[in-house]
């Protein structure tokens, strides 16, 4: 939580923060970093201090540290588009194109009128060779010049593609009814190899000044040198003098320290923004739970006997039941997180362990008797039993935990929050039951999935035996919210 200037005990922090901001604006980057690091040590949760420190590391070229800072800010403020632009710029500057594109896409979803986010998305897509999408992004940003360049690059790219028919082997693979053929037909096609060993069409056009047909123009125009990408910092309070339209939106130095004994100035409440077109909230459940179709731009496409998991940058998913995958994917075992810190404890065991998947490609997962549901979380997030969570998008924040029990083994939980898709694996139909302060809800353990809202769980033994032997165990939920349960479990 940000610290309000003027409160007692913050004098040392504010002095370091203001001095660091002044040094940063003056270009004394190392001195600024030193002051801002000292401020960060005093108040590591202060958003203004984190923003300035991230900018210092960005300008120094220490992109790993800058990314770490802005990743933390995005986790705490998942619906803030400006912070996602900042993080995307760090990724773009460090050459991590898939991650940069993902952050800029989330920024424009959260703020469709964010011109700079559209512009940076266009730059990232152009570097990735996706000239058509880059053109659309530049048009949204109001940059007609860059949109025209993308149109010429797209025409040259199409002209350079081979026109020969695919080989019989490729036709046989695409028409095959085997699993390999299904993946080959469903996965995105790899970019075609260039006709020569020269640079991409867009690069060649900028270097040679060619028009869309490949012929030199009447007047050759030398390409401008690439401009450095400025980092856009969050503006909680507008700067005294607004920047010109053609200047980067840069961070104004912090205001001078308030006069002692003056009443504290309350910062304006942050405006909450949400992505348009997100799926229904988990609390609506039942009829409003949305199955993700194959034609939608979602990482989880549900089919009759399997789930197609599409990776565009980064995703967290289990590998249990995975039939195979295509593309360039890197699987890294995921670890549990407690109180915001990564631990050395594995997130799941064996084939059920969560994997952080990076790259571009697609994987098929067999249902094997499981009922898969792709849902969004809404504003509150959800606490779910760990075995019920099969995967989720990288921008969804997670925290592991447990419900202690004296009558059964402790119950492993995972708290998920943020904007993004979550894939649930359930052996039955998901339902919800309202929990009120005056009406606690008790659910047998074999039917319990988790909860949403301000709820306290308690594991207790029921006064009857379980049908399969031993004492029956249930979970009592008290507070305000929704109990999530599954019909057909057990």
How many other C-beta atoms can be found within 10 angstroms of the C-beta atom of residue 337?
A: 18
Q: Which of 7-11, 92-96, 195-199, 468-472 is the least confident region?
A: 195-199
DSSP letters for 312-346: EEEEEEE-TTEEEEEEEEEEEE-EEEETTEEEEEE
What pLDDT score was predicted for residue 192? 43
How many other C-beta atoms can be found within 10 angstroms of the C-beta atom of residue 402?
A: 12
Structure tokens that stand for 72 in this block: 């933390």
Q: What is the pLDDT of residues 125-167, one digit of tens each?
A: 998 888 889 999 999 999 888 888 888 888 877 766 654 443 3
CATH fourth-level superfamily of 11-163+178-208: Tetratricopeptide repeat domain (1.25.40.10)
> Contact 307/326 with Cβ under 8 angstroms?
no
Can you tell me the mean pLDDT for 260-277?
36
What pLDDT score was predicted for residue 191? 43
If you classify domain 286-487 with CATH, what class do you get?
Answer: alpha beta
Rounded to whole angstroms, the Cα distance separating 201 from 4 reads 52
Can you tell me the mean pLDDT for 307-317?
91
What pLDDT score was predicted for residue 238? 35
Band of residue 398 on the pLDDT scale cut at 50, 70, 90: very high
| SS3 per residue for 214-269 | CCCCCCCCCCCCCCCCCCCCCCCCCCCCCCCCCCCCCCCCCCCCCCCCCCCCCCCC
Q: Is the pLDDT of residue 447 over 50?
A: yes
What pLDDT score was predicted for residue 254? 46
Question: What percentage of residues in the chain have a pLDDT greater than 90?
Answer: 38
Can you tell me the mean pLDDT for 281-301?
51
Can you tell me the mean pLDDT for 192-200?
41
Band of residue 34 on the pLDDT scale cut at 50, 70, 90: very high
Q: What is the pLDDT of residues 106-126, one digit of tens each?
A: 999 999 999 999 999 999 999
What pLDDT score was predicted for residue 162? 57
Q: What is the pLDDT of residues 339-358, one digit of tens each?
A: 778 888 999 988 899 999 99
What pLDDT score was predicted for residue 366? 93
Mean pLDDT for all residues in the chain: 74
Q: Which of 143-147, 216-220, 446-450, 483-487 is the least confident region?
A: 216-220
Q: Is the pLDDT of residue 274 over 50?
A: no
> Contact 47/40 with Cβ under 8 angstroms?
no
Q: How many angstroms separate the Cα of 123 from the Cα of each of 95, 197, 278?
A: 12, 23, 26
What pLDDT score was predicted for residue 487? 82
Question: What percentage of residues in the chain have a pLDDT greater than 70?
Answer: 68
380 vs 68 pLDDT, higher one: 68
What pLDDT score was predicted for residue 370? 87
Rounded to whole angstroms, the Cα distance separating 160 from 131 reads 14
Q: Is the pLDDT of residue 287 over 70?
A: no
Domain boundaries, the chain: 11-163+178-208, 286-487
Q: What is the pLDDT of residues 165-178, one digit of tens each?
A: 433 322 222 222 22
Q: Which of 90-99, 272-281, 295-304 is the least confident region?
A: 272-281
What pLDDT score was predicted for residue 475? 94
């Amino acid at each position: 939580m940000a610290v309000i200037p003027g409160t007692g005990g913050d004098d040392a922090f504010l002095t370091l923060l203001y001095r660091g901001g002044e040094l940063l604006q003056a270009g004394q980057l190392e001195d600024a970093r030193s002051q801002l690091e000292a401020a960060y040590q005093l108040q590591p949760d202060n958003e203004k201090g984190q923003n300035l420190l991230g900018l210092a590391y960005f300008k120094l070229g220490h992109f790993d540290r800058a990314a770490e800072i802005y990743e933390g800010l995005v986790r705490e403020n998942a619906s803030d588009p400006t912070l996602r632009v900042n993080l995307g710029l760090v990724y773009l500057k460090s050459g991590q194109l898939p991650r940069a594109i993902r952050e800029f896409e989330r920024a424009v979803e959260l703020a469709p009128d964010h011109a700079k986010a559209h512009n940076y998305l266009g730059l990232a897509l152009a570097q990735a060779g996706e000239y058509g999408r880059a053109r659309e992004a530049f048009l949204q940003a109001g940059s007609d010049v860059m949109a025209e360049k993308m149109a010429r690059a797209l025409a040259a790219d199409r002209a350079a593609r081979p026109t020969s028919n695919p080989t019989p082997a490729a036709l046989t693979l695409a028409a095959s009814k085997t699993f390999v053929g299904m993946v080959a037909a469903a996965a995105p096609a790899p970019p075609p190899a260039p006709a020569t060993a020269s640079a991409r069409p867009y690069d060649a056009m900028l270097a040679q000044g060619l028009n869309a047909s490949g012929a030199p123009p009447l007047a050759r125009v030398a390409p401008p040198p690439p401009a450095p990408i400025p980092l856009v910092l969050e503006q909680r309070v507008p700067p005294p003098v607004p920047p010109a339209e053609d200047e980067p939106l840069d961070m104004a130095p912090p205001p001078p320290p308030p006069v002692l004994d003056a009443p504290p100035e309350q910062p304006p409440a942050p405006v909450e923004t949400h992505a348009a077109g997100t799926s229904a909230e988990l609390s609506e459940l039942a009829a409003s739970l949305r199955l993700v179709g194959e034609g939608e731009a979602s990482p989880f496409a549900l089919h009759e006997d399997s789930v197609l998991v599409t990776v565009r940058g980064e995703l967290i998913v289990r590998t249990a039941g995975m039939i195979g995958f295509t593309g360039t994917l890197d699987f890294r075992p995921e670890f549990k997180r407690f109180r915001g810190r990564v631990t050395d404890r594995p997130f799941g065991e064996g084939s059920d362990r969560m994997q952080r998947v990076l790259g571009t490609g697609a994987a098929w997962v067999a249902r094997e008797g499981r009922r898969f549901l792709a849902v969004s979380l809404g504003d509150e997030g959800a606490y779910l039993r760990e075995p019920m969570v099969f995967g989720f998008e990288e921008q969804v924040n997670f925290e592991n935990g447990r419900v202690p029990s004296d009558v059964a083994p402790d119950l492993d939980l995972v708290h998920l929050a943020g904007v993004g898709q979550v894939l649930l694996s359930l052996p039955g139909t998901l339902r919800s039951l309202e929990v009120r302060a005056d009406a606690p809800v008790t659910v047998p353990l074999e039917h319990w999935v988790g909860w949403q809202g301000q709820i306290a769980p308690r594991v207790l033994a029921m006064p009857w035996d379980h049908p399969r032997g031993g004492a029956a165990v249930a979970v009592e939920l008290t507070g305000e919210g929704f109990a999530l349960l599954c019909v057909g479990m057990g």
